[in-house]
Structure 1
């Protein structure tokens, strides 16, 4: 099936899931995960209606950016981010979803300061405390959020999570509800924070309908739009 057909199907699923949850479909931002896709495929997706591209690798993002592949869409960084790669994202991405440590948070503030901008970010939360995944454990999220309020060149916009692998979408509902509750708790405990921190980035191709039911505002969808990824011939 074509990208435009797949995208239309995903958009309809988003609409149906939102309405079933009593939500406005316009509240949901679809982030098209463009990992391993070519410049031409990204352009096709934007022409079909994609408004936000999400990249996992800094080198791929930089190459696509230099080729002008993202023209007409926002760019979000959604993958694991190393501190030594932060500087390459400044001025290119509207939102970094995957801020997973205090060290990374401080580096983003440093590099954004050098670039003369304020970088919007999400804190990645490791809800299941999986050793194979990055992210703040739940008790560490509030201190990290409070630190954001002290840094002049970052702006906290909300939280992100990648729950454990599941066989059925509904299996992740408890994790999605937990992130939503955590976000509400942090908002209530940061009364002096004037920033809009209502973004909840959760849900991917296999479980985004469950994430929407639990309050997701941003879903990260790749396979359902682009099909199965081909092996990377030149991994960055």
Structure 2
């Protein structure tokens, strides 16, 4: 067993235990392995251990990995901040984008999605902690943005994503995640039929599961600590 397969098993065990505490079915919680800055061979190792969905933050790195590993049948999710001038390769390569925070971005992805591919699955990113340094629309802006995105062709609005401010204590971790869940429930009551709450990372996986996450994004707990890439390419 490789260290990546052992780590994957440990993360899956954490999900199962958290789901049991929450009274949920663990199968309702998807695991997205965040492979940003990791070499393609580590992704290949994770795939050999049964992982199929991978998250990337940097456009060119993600596109290169998707092409290199095209024969493995993997599902690629773009989860980082996205510049408007870099939407085309994302629209052409990825199955999901979690980081929609403005309508212009969604409109470009919709226009650039190839006709021979299924609609691009997207989530609206919400800045639930109100941090100046974080991407995402505000809680107040989110309903209008979600409705506008849902109306675009070639996209399928699946749900909401958030990256809350780090916190060590469970109650503090759950508070911003609860705000996202409440917004998710509100939008569903208003008829948007969302099915995805993309929230929870290595440090707050349990809190996210307790608050209803349907997809957790785990990097460090699977691949180990990573080095920040040179430059600021997104």
Match of 1:216?
213
Q: Deviations over 1:19-43 (max 9, x none)?
A: 1100000001000000111111110
Residue 167 of structure 1, CA deviation: 2.5
1:42–1:69 CA contact under 8 A, matched in 2: no
SS in structure 1 at match of 2:141: helix
Match of 2:143?
142
Match of 2:195?
198
Match of 2:163?
162
Alignment of 1:5-84 (within 5 A): 5-68=6-69, 71-84=72-85
Match of 1:228?
225
Residue 165 of structure 1, CA deviation: 1.8
Alignment of 1:162-181 (within 5 A): 162-181=163-182
* Distance change (3 Å), C-alpha of 1:49 and 1:234: farther
SS in structure 2 at match of 1:54: strand
SS in structure 1 at match of 2:213: coil
Match of 2:204?
207
| Distance across 2 between alignment mates of 1:117 and 1:21 | 34
* Distance change (3 Å), C-alpha of 1:218 and 1:114: same
- TM-score, normalised with respect to structure 2: 0.92
SS in structure 2 at match of 1:32: strand
* Distance change (3 Å), C-alpha of 1:4 and 1:175: same
| Distance across 1 between alignment mates of 2:50 and 2:117 | 31
SS in structure 1 at match of 2:159: strand
* Distance change (3 Å), C-alpha of 1:149 and 1:226: closer
Residue 18 of structure 1, CA deviation: 0.4
Moved over 6 A (4+): 113-116
2:78–2:97 CA contact under 8 A, matched in 1: yes
* Distance change (3 Å), C-alpha of 1:214 and 1:66: same
Count of residue pairs brought into register by the alignment: 232
Alpha-carbon RMSD across the aligned residues, in angstroms, is: 1.9
- TM-score, normalised with respect to structure 1: 0.92
Residue 222 of structure 1, CA deviation: 0.4
1:43–1:69 CA contact under 8 A, matched in 2: no
Which segments of 5 or more consecutive residues in structure 1 lack a partner in the other structure? none
